Amino acid sequence: MDAIDMKIVSLLRTNARMPLKAIAAKVKLARSTVRERLVKLEESGVILGYHARVADADRLSALLLLKLARTPAPKTVAAITMLPEVCRCYSLSGDVDLAVEIEARATSQLNSTRDYIATLPDVIDVTTSLILKRDKDV
């Protein structure tokens, strides 16, 4: 990725629906050139998709910090990421092995998801923090 590709990605992070014409004007390239760059960014896996961020005030979110008995633990990660309540799962370095963001409609659903994850064989500790507010959400 060169500086122009990074600018294109930055613009799309801000507004995934930005018209091609507007992107081309901001990076000072022809629309056809920008389209070609977008195709290459998509094919190379830099751009994985275009998403709508939807506000849902009724949902509860929590961040689960997991310590595992051993890493890597691909079966445990697969069991976690298949859950519909799981939004994101990050493998980390340091004392915490996984950070898992979950969303639910009710506290009981959030708690049952957390309890299920805590009972997985490789999970030795779970710290749960409710997300009160998103100060920045990309």
pLDDT higher than 90, residue 89: yes
pLDDT higher than 80, residue 56: no
Considering the entire predicted model, what is its pTM?
Answer: 0.64
The pLDDT mean for the chain works out to 91
pLDDT higher than 70, residue 4: yes
Cβ atoms within 10 A of the Cβ of 67, count?
15
Extract the tokens encoding 39. Answer: 């195709």
Q: How does pLDDT run across 28-41, given as a tens digit for each residue? A: 999 999 999 999 99
23: CB partners within 8 A, 6+ apart: 8, 11, 12, 34
Provide the 8-state DSSP code for 70.
Answer: S
Band the pLDDT of 53: cuts 50, 70, 90.
Answer: low
